[in-house]
Amino acid sequence: MRAARIHAYGTIDDIRFEDVREPVIGLDDVLVRVEAAALNPMDNKLMAGYLKDFFPLAFPYTLGTDLAGTVVATGALVAGISPGDKVIARTDPTAGGAFAELAAVPARLVARVSPDLALASLAGLPTAAGSAWQALFEAAAIRPGQSVLIHAGAGGVGSFAVQLASLAGAHVTATASAANLDLVHALGAKKVIDYRHEDFAAISPTADVVIDTIGGETLERSLGIIRPGGKLIGLSAPFDTEAAKARGIDAQFLFHQSDAGRLAAVAALAVEDRLQIVVGRQFPLADTIDAFRLLLKGGARGKILVRP
């Protein structure tokens, strides 16, 4: 089969599109014929070696964690998933394997989805929607009526966070660049701030909760708009929480954990057409390097997919 792999830590120019042996499944794995896989900024961080203390890679490493496809075989101990089932999954980042024609995934990381849905776009769900869900409902425990500011509302995580917070009855403000203001409004944000031309810290309503995937100055300046007792959930990188504590703000760095239950919850919302999966661009698997170039350049508006 064909797969996009790296043979050492490096840059996107080190990605190779190669003929490799089909994966062999373990007793508790399922073998999935990949219909689409989604890029995440984490794929680039893994490739560069930035995350090697958490996720040490073994080479050659097949890139990609988020996939949608059809089960073609199951290990002897797998229950509840059968060949022919349509599924989505987020593989363990250390294992990767999504940017390939076939992927072996532990059954505990797989969620079945309705056969009626367009399968490819569902590949955009696992990391982005899973992180948004974990940030809003597990870390911040948002409640109806709360004021929530979501940075990067047109991004992978942000586009799901805007929708999920709106569905939960929050008053959502988001930041985005000018080209994406309409999109983020349509996803449910009551107010969208053009972060390149407006000062969000001056015009955002006081927030009960801020979800931040940007970090740095954006994260620091967000402290000024959160009410005492409010929450700041940062996802871009671990940060010093002391300044937040001094203002009575509960700040935490969130590290997304794969969870099939959470995946099933977001997939169910997509099935009911209550959660839109914004797909920016799709590339053939052979053009994975071009897909990464777009990810790094920015401006894709939603998820970037590769299709075997």
Ligand X SMILES: NC(=O)c1ccc[n+]([C@@H]2O[C@H](COP(=O)([O-])OP(=O)(O)OC[C@H]3O[C@@H](n4cnc5c(N)ncnc54)[C@H](OP(=O)(O)O)[C@@H]3O)[C@@H](O)[C@H]2O)c1
The residue nearest ligand X at its CB is 155
Q: Answer yes or no: are the C-beta atoms of 106 and 80 closer than 8 Å.
A: no
Size of the site for ligand X (CB under 6 A): 28
CB of 230 to ligand X, least distance (A): 19
Judged by CB under 6 A, which stretch of 24-32, 94-102, 152-160, 164-172 contacts ligand X? Answer: 152-160
The phi and psi torsions of 191 (rounded to 5 degrees) equal -135, 135
Instruction: Render 266-297 in DSSP notation, one character per residue.
Output: HHHHHHTT-S---EEEEEEGGGHHHHHHHHHH
Query: How buried is 76 (Cβ within 10 angstroms: 0-12 exposed, 13-18 middle, 19+ buried)?
Result: exposed
Minimum distance from residue 85 beta carbon to ligand X (Å): 26
Looking up tokens 């696992």 gives 126
Gyration radius of the chain over CA positions: 19
DSSP structural state of residue 77 = T
User: Using an 8 Å Cβ cutoff, are 242 and 262 in contact?
Assistant: no
Q: Which is nearer to ligand X, 97 or 158 (CB)?
A: 158
Helix (H) / strand (E) containing 163: helix 156-167
CA dihedral over 105, 43, 267, 136, signed as positive or negative: positive
Residue 213 or residue 288: which is nearer to ligand X going by CB? 213
Instruction: Reduce the DSSP state of residue 54 to 3 states and report it.
Output: coil
Give whichever of 228 and 298 is closer to ligand X, judged by the CB atom.
298
Scan residues 251-290 and list those touching ligand X (CB under 6 A): 254-256
Binder among 127, 163, 166, 204 for ligand X (CB under 6 A): 127
Rounded distance between C-alpha atoms, residue 286 and residue 284, angstroms: 5
Residue closer to ligand X (CB basis): 158 or 230: 158
Residues between 198 and 237 that touch ligand X (CB under 6 A):
213-214, 218, 235-236
Work out which of 121, 146, 147, 175 binds ligand X, going by CB under 6 A: 175
Nearest to ligand X of 60, 138 (CB atom): 138
Please list the residues that pair with 283 across neighbouring strands: 306
Work out which of 23, 96, 158, 308 binds ligand X, going by CB under 6 A: 158
Alpha helices in 34-140 (DSSP H): 41-48, 119-122, 126-133
Check binding of 154 to ligand X (CB under 6 A): yes
Which span (1-9, 11-19, 148-156, 240-248) binds ligand X, by CB under 6 A? 148-156
Cα(156)–Cα(277) distance, integer angstroms: 9
CB of 196 to ligand X, least distance (A): 7
C-beta of 29 vs 259, nearer to ligand X: 259
Cβ proximity to ligand X, 101 vs 220, nearer residue: 220
Residue pointed to by tokens 């939603």? 302
Among 106, 156, 230, 308, interactor with ligand X by CB under 6 A = 156
**Footprint of ligand X on this chain (CB under 6 A)?**
40-42, 127-128, 131, 151-152, 154-158, 175-177, 180, 195, 213-214, 218, 235-236, 254-256, 298-299
